[in-house]
Amino acid sequence: MSENILEVNNLKKYFPITKGKEKGLSVKAVDDISFSIKRGETLALVGESGSGKSTTAYNVIGMYSATAGQIIFKDEPISNNIKERPLRLRKEIQMVFQDPGTTLNPRRIVKDILSLPLKIHKLVDKKDPVGQIVRLLEEVELPMEYLFKTPLALGGGERQMLAVARALSTNPDLIVLDEPTSALDVSIQAKIINMLLRLQKDYDLSYLFITLDLSLVRNFATRVAIMYLGKIAEIAPTEIFFSDPEHPYTKMLLSAIPVISEKEEEVKHAKVTPKGEIPSPVNVPKGCSFNTRCPLAFDRCFVEDPVMKEVASDHQVRCHLVEERRQS
Amino acid sequence: MDENIVTIKDLHIGYRTFGGHVKVLNGVNLYVKPGEKVSIVGETGCGKTTTVKAILRILARQAVVTGGEIIFKGEQVLKMNKSQLQHLRGTGVSMIFQDPTSSLNPVFTIGQQMSAVIRYSGHAGATKSKIQEELAIKALQETAMPDPERILQSYPFQLSGGMRQRVSIAMALSTPREMVIADEPTTNLDVTIQDQVLRILKQRVEEKNTSLILITHSLGVARETTDRIYVMYAGNMVETAPTTELFREQYHPYTRALVDCIPRLSGGGVAEGIGGRIPNYLDPPPGCRFAPRCPKAFDRCWQEKPEYVNVGSSHQVACFLYDQSTGDE
Amino acid sequence: MSTNHASTPGITKRDRLEGLKRAWYKFSLNKMSIVGLVIVSLILILGVFQPLIAPYPEHAGAYVNFSAANQPPSSQYILGTDTVGRDILSRIFYAFRGALLMGLGVEAFIIPLGTIVGLIAGYWKEKWFSTALMRVTDIFLAVPPLVLALVVSALMRPTLFNSMMAVSIAWWPMYARMIYGMTSSMRNELFVKSAELLGASKFHILFREILPNCLGQIFTKMTLDMGWVILMGASLSFVGLGEQPPTPALGTMVSDGAKYLPDQWWIAIFPSIAIMVIILGFNFLGDGVKDMLTSEE
């Protein structure tokens, strides 16, 4: 058995445009990306809106069929056609969405929400069905009084805890977390992050963590991948990522984060003032897609798209500069 | 006569709801000096938006002011009549909202909307459409917008979120103002765009020597943009201090917990978070509203409401732990 | 739906009471909805208990008393009598029963039909059968409902049941359209996606996830429509295609009385007012139901 629980190889997801001026073109939401997640680790997939991070997550979870590429889960290629995906995988890969307000049916009570996955996957404890759900609630630190409440009666943080409990109910191996705390206050975020860390240890879970918050990534993830316009720009273990970022986009992202201490300012060693906005994924710039915003772009960046290069063990960067520096 | 642009004294505001009267603001005190950049930091539901909406008198229909006063340049805002209010909103204070998609009207061009703002500002010659256009273009240039003529002809949906928010800033500062209120102006934006928008906002208010109240839930944003910070919890300003001082030392247990909760870019794990929930405003705790969640709460905290105590120059904290009058601690 | 309520006694009961109070608060915010509720309750009571309440219950049938014919409103006959001497008030009370049966019968038939068509067509929007179902719906919607109902009932024997069928045929597409619209937008909601990702059955998704979220709107439309369905039933009976004499029907009473206008005005006017009151009552009530079920406080 390989140490990777999930491998994504050359994944592509294009959305064809069927209406309007740009008809016939397609949105290259995810364009040839590869990464892997080891058992028990957390891979953070970081990017701005439109970077394709959520599309990647939806491919893994089986909400979209991939255009090309391969997804391997526990050494078994899982079909790119979501209709052929066996029910077993829906049990082993779970997802927590960004906004718990929209992922929990407002008209159903907590007990029904939590018992649905158990019923579908025939995991109901016949002797004590209520106790089983109460135990799930306890796992996410919610009181059993909530059994008969609807999500509307819960606070934002509590709803997200409920969403985590639902994901946990089928005893999955991999949980995709799509910005699970971005809609919540920091004091609640802290609680949920700590809970997720505890659950990861208790159940040997692997996480694919989609986020924009690098401060959170620093304290939560094992490895980090930065996405820009459907491609991965840099991927590295968390320590190295923050001590030795290579890609200009990584540096720009780091510079943009509002921080609260001098110690953190030091992490932003090379201040790259952010400028411009992410271009439309329909008209991706020629050459390196970051060239419109890169302060260090030179001739080659406008002609040729760089490829992933390993700069250190486990640390890959997709940038001409890094390549040229190594050659000289 | 005080030299503050705006002073809020012991402001109490509630809302009428099904359950009864929810007491949101519980004696808010705040002041902003000319040219000062102040932020109000607090979590969802603490009353930060209610506070600033009260300054402009744009509260919801169900809101009831039950006490306190708001003084804008020596005038009582809560007693203003319609034309005084219009003057206040037209020339005194302008507001930038969280979501520019809903604060900009989708059926008018940016140019039409900016002209309207300028027309009601009472600026010299502002009724002439040529001057309006010039001022609008100038304002857009000042917010580093490329190709302002084209933007004036655009409709809001043709611009990206970051551009729309910059248009809002340009609009708010197209004519001279005493004060700008920005309510979570960057919450919906990506970090790299947030950085640009905040830099432009800061630069523009500094150039024009306009006062700024920035509402945010992010201490990081507050630290990088403003001179002084108010920390708000459940309808009270629990602590205020100049930015650098606040991050050097937090006095109020809530501020301390809040700062601890923020994940650091330099690592070190995530703090436990704050136990419990914000109080139910229908029946809030009679004393300090943070008492039920406070690790250091003692008897007095449950009975009396703490008033501001000076703990440094312009560093004030509403907490009995630092109240010398009783001799505790 | 949920079974084991007994395990945590008290909680649900109190929550439900709280929910009811909140619903009443929202409902009662608009005073007109209370007026509507009172009117509808009265109509219900009068319709159901007509034999006990009406001054002359026997006048509902084939009763003739020419000596009391064409009497204007008086203390004896509050709303007067018709051409064969029957008390109009008693007949109106009795007609309420038919009108309510009409409304409830039609809705009991069209709501399940419209809902199922709408759910299926909305959830599988891209499929051919969805297009087929919705085009059929459109064809029905293209014909004015009253005309359609007239044509259909003209083809059948004139009875109350048949006129219900005729109105139903004209009315169900509106529900199908509404549910179709709601379903086709709701199927993209993340809670539906979540259920799909978990591997839930289509039956579960349609009836347990989507339908409960449509109930508020269905219930509102149902209340608002009651009055209009009754009006259409009355229109059919006005042209003689509904309930047959001697059973009183509001439409028949108006058409009979219309011949004696303006001299014996009470024969036609009072049943007309009764129709108006029914429609107003259900509309006011419907507005309140809408406030109660769909507005956020």
Per-residue pLDDT reduced to its tens digit, C63-105: 888 888 888 888 888 888 888 888 889 899 989 988 999 999 9
Say which residue the tokens 């909601």 belong to.
Answer: C189
Phi (first) and psi of residue B232, to 5 degrees? -115, 135
Say which residue the tokens 């890969």 belong to.
Answer: A93
Best of B16, B17, B18 to mutate (most C CBs within 10 Å, chain C): B18
Measure A147 CA to nearest chain C CA, in Å: 9
Amino acid at A132: Q
- The closest alpha carbon to B65, from B2, B6, B4, B8, belongs to B8
Q: Is the dihedral of CA B72, B74, B77, B78 positive or negative?
A: positive
Cβ within 8 Å, pair C213-A105? yes
Q: Closest partner residue to B247 among A188, A256, A261, by Cβ?
A: A261
pLDDT at site A249:
93
pLDDT at site C51:
82
Q: Which of residues 249-278 of B touch A (CB under 8 A)?
A: 257-259, 261-274, 277
- Spatial distance between the Cα atoms of A67 and A81, rounded to a whole number of angstroms: 9
Contacts of B61 in chain C (CB under 8 A): none
How far is residue A247 from each of residues A231, A259, A264, A316, measured CA to CA in Å?
13, 21, 19, 10
Over residues B213-271, the pLDDT tens digits come to: 999 999 999 999 999 999 999 999 999 999 999 999 999 999 999 999 999 998 888 88
User: Does any CB of chain A come closer than 8 Å to the CB of residue B245?
Assistant: no
Contacts of C26 in chain B (CB under 8 A): 18
For residue C84 the two structure tokens come to 């064969």
Amino acid at B61: R
β-sheet bridge partners, residue A70: A9
Best of A21, A187, A272 to mutate (most B CBs within 10 Å, chain B): A187
Confidence of residue A95 (pLDDT cuts 50, 70, 90): very high
Q: Closest partner residue to A186 among B192, B262, B267, by Cβ?
A: B262
Q: Closest partner residue to A105 among C7, C15, C191, by Cβ?
A: C191
Q: What angle do CA A242, A243, A246 make, to 5 degrees?
A: 80
All chains having 3 or more CB pairs closer than 8 angstroms to chain B: A, C
- Is the model's pLDDT at C297 over the cut of 50? no
Confidence of residue B326 (pLDDT cuts 50, 70, 90): low
Measure A166 CA to nearest chain C CA, in Å: 10
Cβ within 8 Å, pair B264-A258? no
User: Does any CB of chain C come closer than 8 Å to the CB of residue B60?
Assistant: no
pLDDT at site C67:
82
How far is residue C216 from each of residues A153, B101, C35, C290, measured CA to CA in Å?
18, 29, 21, 8
- Residues in CB range of B150: below 8 A, 6 or more apart: none
Over residues A226-278, the pLDDT tens digits come to: 999 999 999 999 999 999 899 999 999 999 999 998 888 888 877 788 888 88
**Global ipTM:** 0.87
Measure B120 CA to nearest chain A CA, in Å: 33
Cβ within 8 Å, pair C5-A148? yes
Over residues B140-189, the pLDDT tens digits come to: 988 878 888 888 999 988 888 888 888 998 888 888 889 999 999 988 88
> Is B232 strand, coil or helix?
strand
What global pTM score does this model have?
0.85
Cβ within 8 Å, pair A90-C197? yes
Residues in chain B: 329
Cβ within 8 Å, pair C26-B18? yes
CB B298 within 8 A of CB B320: yes
CATH for the A4-327 domain, from 1.20.1730.10, 3.40.960.10, 3.40.50.300, 3.40.50.1220: 3.40.50.300
Contacts of C297 in chain B (CB under 8 A): 17-18
Over residues B78-137, the pLDDT tens digits come to: 999 999 998 898 888 999 988 877 788 889 999 999 988 888 877 767 778 888 888 899
- Residues in CB range of B290: below 8 A, 6 or more apart: B233, B234, B238, B252, B253, B254, B297
- The closest alpha carbon to C282, from C26, C91, C32, C25, belongs to C32
CB B49 within 8 A of CB B215: yes
Instruction: Using a pLDDT cut of 90, give the percent of chain C over it.
Output: 46
Confidence of residue C4 (pLDDT cuts 50, 70, 90): very low
Cβ within 8 Å, pair C26-B17? no
* Domain definitions of chain C by residue range: 98-234+274-297
- Is the model's pLDDT at A81 over the cut of 70? yes
CB A306 within 8 A of CB A288: yes
pLDDT at site C9:
40
How far is residue C192 from each of residues A53, B297, C86, C123, measured CA to CA in Å?
21, 45, 59, 11
More confident residue, A25 or A207: A207
Cβ within 8 Å, pair B264-A274? no
User: Does any CB of chain B come closer than 8 Å to the CB of residue C25?
Assistant: yes
- The closest alpha carbon to C168, from C215, C104, C216, C227, belongs to C104
pLDDT at site C276:
94
Of all residues in chain C, the one with the smallest CA distance to A115 is: C2
- Is the model's pLDDT at B325 over the cut of 80? no
Packing angle of the helix pair C128-142, C88-123 (nearest 10 deg): 150
Q: Closest partner residue to C212 among A103, A107, A147, by Cβ?
A: A107
Measure C117 CA to nearest chain B CA, in Å: 36
Contacts of C22 in chain B (CB under 8 A): 18
- Spatial distance between the Cα atoms of A207 and A215, rounded to a whole number of angstroms: 17
More confident residue, B327 or A283: A283
**Average pLDDT over all residues of chain A:** 90
Confidence of residue C45 (pLDDT cuts 50, 70, 90): very high
Instruction: Give, as one character, the DSSP assignment of residue B88.
Output: I
- Spatial distance between the Cα atoms of A134 and A148, rounded to a whole number of angstroms: 11
Of all residues in chain C, the one with the smallest CA distance to B16 is: C297
All chains having 3 or more CB pairs closer than 8 angstroms to chain A: B, C
Confidence of residue C296 (pLDDT cuts 50, 70, 90): low
Cβ within 8 Å, pair C189-A104? no
Instruction: Give, as one character, the DSSP assignment of residue A284.
Output: P
Helix (H) or strand (E) holding B307: none
Residue C178, number of CB atoms within 10 A of its CB: 18
| Bridge pairing between strands B37-41 and B211-216 | parallel
Interface A-C: count of C-beta contacts within 8 A: 72
Measure A121 CA to nearest chain B CA, in Å: 34
- Is the model's pLDDT at A316 over the cut of 50? yes
Instruction: Give, as one character, the DSSP assignment of residue C285.
Output: H
Q: Dihedral (C-alpha) C58, C64, C66, C70: value to the nearest 10 degrees?
A: 60
pLDDT at site C65:
81
Cβ within 8 Å, pair C22-B18? yes
Amino acid at A123: L
Contacts of B17 in chain C (CB under 8 A): 297
- The closest alpha carbon to A10, from A85, A77, A62, belongs to A77
User: Does any CB of chain B come closer than 8 Å to the CB of residue C296?
Assistant: no
Average pLDDT over residues C185-205: 91
Could you please state the CATH topology (level 3) that the domain comprising C98-234+274-297 is classified under: MetI-like fold (1.10.3720)
Measure C47 CA to nearest chain B CA, in Å: 35
pLDDT at site C12:
60
- Is the model's pLDDT at B328 over the cut of 60? no
Residue B222, number of CB atoms within 10 A of its CB: 26
pLDDT at site A266:
85
- Is the model's pLDDT at A117 over the cut of 90? yes
Over residues B258-311, the pLDDT tens digits come to: 999 999 998 888 888 888 888 888 889 989 999 999 989 999 999 999 999 999
What's the burial of C146, exposed, middle or buried (CB within 10 Å: 0-12/13-18/19+)? Answer: middle
CB-based burial, A53-67: b 16+ in 10 Å, e otherwise: bbbbbbbbbbbbebb
- Spatial distance between the Cα atoms of C256 and C244, rounded to a whole number of angstroms: 12
Say which residue the tokens 């300054």 belong to.
Answer: B55
Of all residues in chain B, the one with the smallest CA distance to C29 is: B18
- The closest alpha carbon to B9, from B56, B60, B77, B57, belongs to B77
User: Does any CB of chain C come closer than 8 Å to the CB of residue B18?
Assistant: yes
How far is residue B329 from each of residues B241, B296, B319, measured CA to CA in Å?
21, 11, 12
Amino acid at A10: N
Rounded to a whole number of angstroms, the CA Rg of chain B reads: 21
- Spatial distance between the Cα atoms of B328 and C145, rounded to a whole number of angstroms: 81
pLDDT at site C295:
65
Helix (H) or strand (E) holding C66: none
Contacts of C25 in chain B (CB under 8 A): 18
All chains having 3 or more CB pairs closer than 8 angstroms to chain C: A, B
Contacts of B18 in chain C (CB under 8 A): 22, 25-26, 297
Instruction: Give, as one character, the DSSP assignment of residue A216.
Output: H
Average pLDDT over residues B6-16: 94
